[in-house]
Amino acid sequence: MSDNGPYTQPPQYPGGEGNNSGGQPPYGGYGDPNAAAQYPGGYNPASGGQPGFGPQGPYGAGPQPGPGFQQPHDQQMFQGGGGGGQPPYPGGTPGYPPPKKSSAGLWIVIGGGAVILVLVVAVVVMLLRTGGGTPTTPTSPEETAPQADPSAEQPEGGEGAPKGEAPYALPEDACKVLTETQASEYGSSDAGSKNLSDSRSSCNWSLSGEDRSYGTLSVEYQTPYAGSDSIEGAKTDYKDAVESATDTDNSYTKIKILNEEEVDLGNEATLVFSEQKGVSTQSVAELLVRQDNININIRYTMSGNVLEENPPAPLKYSDVEELVPEIGKLAVDHVGAS
């Protein structure tokens, strides 16, 4: 304990260099690394917890550093040769190197161009494969011939083949057997008049011929009375139709059979050509066809000049020998079509 009581003495600077006044440095702890730190109000934990008191009279305004005071080494390094106390940093905020330009945009452009190039190449390859890039083999005349249009008008004569399998239903519209062009070639100027019942379907056309002749064309489909799908019943009906067409014992008209022959059409067919004399003299060609359970009756008639008295029959067998079977083929083609 010092002579001044329980108060600690101010720390002395090492070596006592230039410090004859015994003053304290402005900051605690710089004089001696082992000396205790200074605290406000004179409090010192090393004094045993005694409260500190302000400076006593003998000390006056407190110790001041003497003229020979030497700054600590770590403060001298910031003095810059004794002036100002500014740190040795360059003036202003240190600059940063300029940012590097990103190459992401360039890579995006390159990638997009590559994708477009690949697509263009793919399109060119496809065009070459489907177009003229590949050699084509010569085609035969059958392959280069135009294909038939199913919706086009059926050529005259037809094929004489039904559609589908038996038994067949009655065609709903028998007038579809002939197109308007075909009907006109046979001498008709109308679209035909159709009739439909449970067992019959028919169509009738009016005809105009040479030398003021006139006539009719009819196509009739019939199913058996015993049963619409009965083939045996259709055979019986066909036999009866042939007998009726060749029956000359008719009290109303005089019938003269000129020709009767079988025709290669359907399951069986017969063409009967005759002259029938009533009010006028008619040429009558009647074609009877059986196709499975369907019987077809095609009747083509023509009368002489209406202005003449007792005109002769206008047709010969050669006039109907091919014409009527052609209509028969068209009628068979229509079986099973609707």
Distance CA 215, CA 156 (A): 20
pTM, full prediction: 0.54
* For residues 327-331, average pLDDT: 96
Q: What secondary structure letter does DSSP report for 263?
A: -
Q: What is the mean pLDDT of residues 144-165?
A: 56
Pull the structure tokens for residue 202.
Answer: 């028919």
Higher pLDDT, 336 or 80: 336
What is the structure's pLDDT at 15?
47
Give me 305's structure tokens: 């000049």
13: amino acid identity, one letter:
Y
Helix (H, G, I), strand (E, B) or coil at 298: strand
The pLDDT value recorded for residue 262 is 96
**pLDDT tens digits along 259-299:** 999 999 999 999 999 999 888 889 999 999 999 999 999 99
Q: What is the DSSP letter of 178?
A: S
Per-residue confidence (pLDDT) for residue 111, from 0 to 100: 79
The stretch 208-217 carries a mean pLDDT of 91
User: What is the tally of helices (H) and strands (E) in the chain?
Assistant: 7, 7
pLDDT at 126: 75
Between 170 and 66, the more confident residue is: 170
Work out the pLDDT band at 101, boundaries 50, 70, 90: low
What 3-state class would DSSP assign to 338? coil
Mention every residue, 6+ apart, whose C-beta is less than 8 A from residue 163: 333, 335, 336, 337
Q: State yes or no: pLDDT of 57 exceeds 70.
A: no
pLDDT of 206 over the 90 cut: yes
Q: Which residues contact 117 (CB under 8 A, 6 or more apart)?
A: none
Indicate the DSSP class of residue 268: E
Q: Where does the pLDDT of residue 55 fall: very low under 50, low under 70, confident under 90, or very high at 90 and above?
A: very low
Q: Enter the DSSP assignment of 57.
A: G
> What is the predicted pLDDT for the residue at 189?
86
Q: What is the pLDDT of residue 61?
A: 44
Question: Quick one: residue 178, left, alpha or beta (phi over 0 = left, psi -120 to 50 = alpha)?
Answer: beta
Q: What is the pLDDT of residues 247-263, one digit of tens each?
A: 988 767 889 999 999 99
Does residue 239 surpass a pLDDT of 70?
yes
307-310 own/partner pairs: CB under 8 Å, 24+ apart = 307/212, 310/281
Widest distance between CA atoms in the chain: 183
What is the per-residue pLDDT for 97?
59
Domains of the chain, each with CATH number or no CATH: 1-85 (no CATH), 174-333 (3.40.1000)
* Cis, peptide link before residue 162, omega less than 30° from 0: no
pLDDT at 75: 45
For Cα atoms 256, 216, 245, give the angle at the middle one, nearest 5 degrees.
35
At 34 the pLDDT is 46
Instruction: Give the per-residue pLDDT at 46.
Output: 46
Mean pLDDT over 86-115 rounds to 63
